[in-house]
Each structure stands twice: as C-alpha cells, then as structure tokens.
C-alpha cells in the first residue's frame, strides 16, 4: 500500500510544471545539486564523464537522453537528431556503445509511423557504429504500440535492439513469450508507473511473484537477459534460479540505476557478475527524478539533506 501510494503521489508531482520550474533552479546546481545523485547532468559531456567513472569501476553502462511525450513533430525530430549526434560522441569517447530510448520521445503520441521512422534512423545509424539500443517501456497505454514497433523493426533486420518488460503489468508474461519467439533481448523490471488494477498487479507480493516467474523463464530461454533490480531478494532469487538451471554468470547481467545501491553494484561485480548502470542525462530530468523518488521513498531523505545544504 505504501509503495502504491508513493508511486501515485510522485507520479502526480512529476507532471507539475510549477514544481519542475522550482526544481530546475537547484537540481543540477554544481556538483551538489540534489538531482545529481540520480542524473549525470544535462549535457553529453557530463554523461560521458559519468560513464567513464562507472567503467573505471569495472561496470558497464548505458546512456539515456531523458525526455518523453513530445507534443510536436519538430520536438520528435529534434530528439531523434540528438540521438544521432550523441552516438558518434560516445564512439569517439571510447566508452561502451549502449543507449536507451523512449518511443514517446520520438513521437509515438503523434503517430506510430512517425516514431517508427525515427526509430529506424536511430537503429540504422547505431548498427553502423556498433551500438545496441534498448527501448524503454512506458506506462500501460503505450505497451502494445511499443511492442508492435519493436517487432516491425526486428523483422526489417534491425536487430541491434532490445526491449523492457514490467512484471507489474498483468500482460507481461504473455509479452515475454512474444519477445522470446523473436530471439530478442529483454530487460526485466518491476515497473515505476502507478497503474490501475485492471491491468497491473497492486501488491508487492504479486509484482514480485510475476517477476520471479518471468525471471525463471528468461534465464532458461532468454538471450542475454538483463535483470534490472535493486531488491536483494530478487538478486538472491536470480542467483538461485541461475544455479538451478546451470546458467553461467556470463550469460546474463544485472542492471541498476545510476546512484542507486552502489554498494550492491560493487558487490555483484566483485562476485563476477555482469553489472550495467543505467545513466540518464539531459534537461528533461525532472519526471525521471520524481519517479525514482516514488520507487524508493528513502531517497527523499537524501534530497532533503541536499536541499538544506543548498540553503
């Protein structure tokens, strides 16, 4: 109940233009900005710097230019051009060539055809430069359109792409079979969105139960699955299921968010597991940041301490 309430409250705050304006004054101010714990910065240079620091610890990374739900074709084009421009910068920097995108940032709200055109441009350019692109899953109204576009580009031969599935959604176990049939890569998460009971599990036990079922299936039948969790119980279950199925540590990887459970990140790497850190950056950081607070209310204390230091 507390988890659901937290998601609902912070999900609402994420859409507040007034709060976004206030937060923008302090969130990225110098190294002490309160959002910098979870967001690398606003520029590609800051993101590359954060990626280098992560890789220096023996971890992998994926970069995500934050943004979603653009309101015009011009904004969708601008986001696409930004991704096309960032890939050569990443390649020149010599860091891992792995990025994440959201389809609403590419114009999915405007039309699937528009988003598909932009996605194909990104994947084609990424293939030329050796990039893997992960399509982030958004809230439930976008799931079918996201999977349909994912399947379409895959069948067009653009296979340098994977997708994210959320165990909180009741449909996701069937969607997993759909993606496995393609031979594509899946990133498994619990889900950060507040969803209605008609489409989503409401209790932590139900979400965790679905996560474990999908996890077991992925470890046995998936193609280099990404196990995205900060939950020690889910991490322990991953180790147990992998051992039971005879799946070696190199056949999958754990993934965590930048700035979250850095102790677990280091511990898993020390145990010999692959560990990838999701590094977000960009000016549109506020909605992402609020969802992180909603996922783990303990993060609020960190932010309040940072704000007090700013004063």
Number of H helices, E strands in the chain: 12, 8
Active-site residue, 187 included: yes
Torsions phi, psi of 132, nearest 5?
A: -100, 135
Cα→Cα distances 223→72, 121, 186, 217, Å:
36, 24, 8, 11
- What's the first-to-final CA gap in the chain, in angstroms? 34
Q: Which residues are CB-neighbours of 284 under 8 A, at least 6 positions away?
A: 66, 67, 68
Nearest to 193 by CA among 115, 137, 152, 240: 137
Catalytic residue among 187, 217, 291, 292: 187
Cα→Cα distances 179→79, 146, 164, 212, 215, Å:
26, 12, 10, 17, 14
Q: Are 245 and 220 in contact (CB under 8 A)?
A: yes
Catalytic residue among 36, 97, 109, 136: 136
Burial 239-254 (b: 16+ CB within 10 A, else e): bebbeeeebeeeebbb
Torsions phi, psi of 199, nearest 5?
A: -120, -10
Q: Which residues are CB-neighbours of 221 under 8 A, at least 6 positions away?
A: 180
Active-site residue, 208 included: no
- Beta strands per DSSP E along the chain: 60-65, 98-101, 132-135, 161-166, 185-189, 226-228, 253-257, 274-281
DSSP class of residue 278 equals E
Q: Which residues are catalytic?
A: 136, 187
């Amino acid at each position: 109940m507390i988890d659901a309430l937290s998601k609902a409250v912070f999900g609402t705050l994420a859409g507040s233009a007034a709060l976004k304006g206030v937060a923008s004054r302090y969130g990225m101010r110098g190294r002490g900005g309160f959002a910098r714990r979870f967001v690398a910065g606003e520029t590609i240079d800051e993101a590359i710097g954060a990626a280098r620091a992560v890789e220096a610890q023996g971890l992998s990374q994926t970069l995500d230019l934050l943004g979603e739900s653009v309101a015009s074709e011009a904004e969708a084009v601008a986001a696409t051009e930004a991704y096309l421009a960032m890939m050569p910068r990443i390649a020149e920097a010599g860091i891992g060539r792995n990025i994440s995108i959201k389809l609403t940032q590419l114009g999915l709200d405007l039309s699937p055809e528009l988003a598909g055109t932009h996605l194909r441009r990104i994947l084609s350019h990424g293939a030329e430069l050796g990039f893997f692109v992960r399509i982030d899953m958004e809230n439930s109204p976008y799931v079918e359109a996201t999977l349909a576009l994912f399947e379409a580009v895959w069948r067009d031969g653009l296979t340098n792409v994977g997708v994210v599935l959320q165990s909180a959604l009741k449909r996701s176990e069937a969607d997993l079979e759909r993606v496995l049939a393609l031979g594509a890569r899946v990133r498994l998460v619990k889900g950060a969105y507040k969803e209605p009971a008609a489409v989503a599990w409401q209790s932590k036990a139900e979400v965790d139960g679905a996560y474990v079922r999908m996890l077991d299936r992925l470890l046995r039948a998936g193609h280099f699955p990404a196990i995205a969790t900060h939950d020690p119980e889910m991490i322990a279950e991953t180790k147990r299921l992998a051992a039971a199925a005879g799946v070696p540590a190199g056949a999958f990887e754990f993934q965590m968010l930048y700035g979250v459970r850095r102790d677990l990140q280091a511990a898993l790497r020390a145990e010999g597991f692959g560990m990838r850190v999701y590094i977000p950056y960009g000016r549109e950081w506020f909605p992402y940041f609020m969802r992180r607070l909603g996922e783990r209310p303990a993060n609020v204390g960190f932010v309040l301490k940072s704000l007090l230091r700013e004063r």
